[in-house]
Structure 1
Amino acid sequence: MTRRGRGADDEGSILPLLLGYIVLAIAVIFVCTCATDLYIAQKRLDSLADAAALAGADGFTLVVEGEGVRAELTDEGVREQAVAIVDAMASEAALVSASAPDGVSAQVTVAADWHPPLFSAFVPAGVPLEATATSRTALR
C-alpha cells in the first residue's frame, strides 16, 4: 500500500506565477509613475500660463475718455509681459500666443513636450502639452 500525503497530486511550482505577478507589478509601477509625472507637468504648464496671463493683464495702459479713465490692453503689451514671464522660468515651455481679444482680457497659450521619466513599453515616448489661461484687467 502506498500512502498518499496531502497534495501528492499537485505537481509544479508557483515560481512562474510569482514571476508573472512581479512583472505585472513593475509595469503598473512604471505606468503610475509616468502618469503622475505627466499630471504634474500639465499642472506646471497651467501655472505658467496663469502667471503669464496675469502678467499680461498688468500690462495695461490708461486711457482718459472725457471724465472717465479706463484700462486698455494691447496685443503687444500682453505679449511683452508674457514673454518676460515665460523666459524667466527655467522650463522647456514656449509661448504659442498672447493677445488681448477684447481689450480688457489677456489670453495666453503656452506649450511644451512631456517625456516620461522612466522607459516603459506601455507609455508613449513624448506627449505635446498645451495650456491656455485668461486674465481680466479691471480699473476700480
Structure 2
Amino acid sequence: MAGEIRTTSSPSGERDEGSVLLLTLGYVLLALAVIFVCVCATDLYVAQKRLDALADSAALAGADGFTLAARDGKVRAELTDAGVQDQAEALLVALPGEASITAAGTPDGVTARVTVATEWHPPLVSVFVPDGVPLESTATSRTALR
C-alpha cells in the first residue's frame, strides 16, 4: 500500500513514539560530559607544562647568579642559596602569572634547584573544584663555569 505510514507497538500494545528522543538526549549528555572532561584534562596538562617551563627558566636564572671565586690559582663559579633565590624571584616578578617559589637553593655550589608552585582551576564550571588543584614543578640547572 503506497503512502501508508506504519507505527510499531510494543508487546503490551503501547506505541514506541518518543523512545528515540530520550535515547538521543542521553547520548548528547554523555558526549557533553566527555567533551568537558577532555577540555579540563587538556587545560591541566597545558598548565603543568607552563609551570615546568617556568621552573626551568627560574633554575636557569638562578644558575646565572654565581660569583667568581679564585682559589689555588683557579677561578671557579660558585652559587649561593641567596643568589639563586634572588635571581629566581627576579624572574618570577618580571613574568605574569600567579606562581610562587616554594624552594630555591644550591645543593652543591654549582647547581641551582628551584621549585615553583601554583593552583589550577578548571576552565569549565570551577564550582566542582573551588579550591583548585595544587601544581608543583622542580627544575635544576648548572652553571656554565665550573
Q: TM-score, length-normalised on structure 2?
A: 0.85
Unaligned runs of 5+ in 1: none
Query: Greater relative contact order: 1 or 2 (C-alpha under 8 angstroms, separation 6 or more)?
Result: 1
Detail structure 1 runs of 4+ shifted over 6 Å in the superposition: none
**Secondary structure in structure 2 of the residue aligned to 1:103:** coil
**Matching of residue 96 in structure 1 with residue 102 in structure 2:** yes
Q: 1:9 Cα deviation (Å)?
A: 3.7
Taking the aligned partners of 1:6 and 1:106, their CA distance within structure 2 comes to 78
**Aligned pairs for 1:1-140 within 5 A:** 8-9=8-9, 11-12=16-17, 13-119=19-125, 124-125=129-130, 126-139=132-145
Amino acid at match of 1:57: A
Task: Decide which structure has the larger Cα Rg and report it.
Answer: 2
Taking the aligned partners of 2:100 and 2:30, their CA distance within structure 1 comes to 37
Q: 1:120 Cα deviation (Å)?
A: 6.6
Taking the aligned partners of 2:8 and 2:51, their CA distance within structure 1 comes to 62
- Deviations along 1:74-129, whole A, 9 cap, x unmatched? 001000000001111110101111101110000000000000110178x6441000
Taking the aligned partners of 1:87 and 1:48, their CA distance within structure 2 comes to 12
**Secondary structure in structure 1 of the residue aligned to 2:97:** coil
Change (3 A) 1:30 1:86: same
Q: 1:137 Cα deviation (Å)?
A: 0.9
- Deviations along 1:19-47, whole A, 9 cap, x unmatched? 00000111111111111111111111111
Unaligned runs of 5+ in 2: 11-15
**Secondary structure in structure 2 of the residue aligned to 1:14:** helix
**Secondary structure in structure 2 of the residue aligned to 1:128:** strand
Q: How many residue pairs get matched? A: 135
